[in-house]
Structure 1
Amino acid sequence: MTKPLVSIIISIYNVAPYLQRCLDSLVQQDYPEIELLLIDDGATDKSGEICDEYVANNSLIHVFHKVNGGLADTRNYGLQQAHGEYVIFFDGDDFADIRYVSTLVTAADSIKADITGCGYYVEELDRYETTLSRTPNPFIDGRYTNMTFQQIPVDATVIQILGYTWNKLYRRQFLQQQQLSFEKGLSLIEDIDFNARAFAKAEQLVFIKTPLVYYCQRPRRTLGSAANYERPFLLRQRALNSVRELLTQWQTPTGLVEQTVSTIYVDNVKSYIIMLNQSGLSKQSRLNKLIEIMNQPDNRYFVKQYQPQGWQGRLVKFLLQQRRGGWLLRLEQLRHS
């Protein structure tokens, strides 16, 4: 019986030091029916050259060089080039277990799932690219239909479920039929927005507990234009509404829905602060942009609903409530230096 083809779309932007490890881990998969679509999003380092070297030696690989458009644009472009029954969206600085694709396909084929997800490792690096830790993040385990989605546990786990695309296998026909694509301008939260809309349309889901992907968390992880911090923050509120609608569809209690959405909001603010600190803007310009966010009407509501874990989370909540932008910039700078 012929195995289904899997298209792995790899978004690449200035990840030359990590790209070989990423590509080797995918080329060496124990599942033979794959095509690797390397989408060079206008990288200014040697990433594009590395892509060209790999395509010359491997018929599974196809390279596309394009003008920089950001992560969402890169994934949408890759999806247009894909031929597989299934699609994976991968990032050029992460890498995978050799069983990654085969395990996901076996699980998906068991019920013809629209979306299949697995656990992952977080590999934390310092600014010198030294590995500080490698922490497993197991997924929930189980099969769900649109009649049993309400049984999916909604806690910190749901953020893991919705937060990433690189640990998921999507049925391409499902994405096409539902006209699902990544929304441009949602820097930092495009995965959550895409997954919330996709999960709301899905009829069959499979989750695998086993961690099979290595997500590299480093101080200057770059997957798109350096100007991402300038994209309108308000656009991201639509992504939060997508999450709210999905959890309501899953019959999640209202209080828990709002806690979950608020956690995503605050995490997004923290990521925004990190990007501001890496933007090269003056201290006053960074402060002005952060104050603009904190003065938005939704900020007070989300921060009030936010239920932090640990003293650092409580400190961030206090500083957001008091609108202490300067302290927030310094706090996040220290935590990610």
Structure 2
Amino acid sequence: MRFTLCLSLIAALAVAASGSPFLSADAPFIPPRGGADAGYYFWDSMEAGEWAPVYEWFNPSDAQGWCGDDVCWSALAPFDIRFCGELHLAGSTVYVGSNGAVGFTEPGMAEPINQRIPDPAPPNGVIAPLWDNLHGSADGEIYLDLDGTAPERRWYITWSPWYFDHTWLDPIEFQIVFHETDTDGVNNTVEFRYRDLDGDSWRDHGASATVGLEDGSGLEAARYSFNQPVIPDEFAVRFVDQGYVDDHLGAFGLLTPDDGSVVGPGVPVRFSWEASEYGGHGQLLYALSLSRDPDFGDVRVFDTGADAWMDYIFGTGEIGPYWWKVMARETDLGLTRWSEGVFTLEVSASVIVESSWGTIKAEF
């Protein structure tokens, strides 16, 4: 079940940054259970379920030699990235800030004083795993790594080691992961991963940071936290397109005929399967694939529409083994899902249907 994360601003709670104005924090933190806004739902690694991330640190290797304070650098997106509904083609400029924020426009991307998003003031279109007053010190490094093969590549931006401002002995480590997608009109999944946020006693774990996504107008945001020490070490937060989640197809299994059944020619065989759970914006349709080849190299496809069943009569020329499975498809985004498993079926001329056996007995 998805719940919207409701965070209210209270002026009484403030966090002071050295040389910076007081920053109000959100109300006492309630762990999100699928928070939503700006076109995304989000979950963290303390949650269970299909959409919740499992923390896994990616060891970076492609160091950029970036190290500084209140600056940003430019990189090129390695694949198309749709962010908050706006498509940025492969090769678009991405600005990576020293203060733990990334975006597709430069103004404000090096800003050390974090904002409570959404906020129309720049920077806007922010991807903020840990927007805080940070710096690279003398040994800081930012990495850009591309992993996997199209269309399921992952682009990692990693700050490791990095430091809270005015500290240089205890580094922190965190990274962004952009997941490639080949589904048109869907925002790319974005994931934040935190290996170590113990770097300064009063600012540890997001106590003075903004964590979340903001659209290009600064009017909408999927905000995970603001000035709250709620980000433990070895932790992840995942943001997934709302439409993709809403149109998601639930797992479903095959029902009849039972796996390994033997049937005879000339009589109806009822193929049936569970209905996939679907609460999206389109129509749910099914197609049954039937083949003599276990690899479905030579296959017949039967569209059954919205029906989770189909009757078929095998002819005497269709004796032999078969394999069958079902694909569910929704019509909004065109998402598809195969049934869980594949069933086998044997059509045998030696099978005598009970009604036929009664006729045979009546003749003697």
TM-score range, shorter chain: under 0.3
Which one has the largest radius of gyration?
2
Q: Which has the higher strand share?
A: 2
TM-score (norm 1): 0.27
Larger RCO: Structure 1 or Structure 2 (Cα < 8 Å, ≥ 6 residues apart)?
Answer: 1
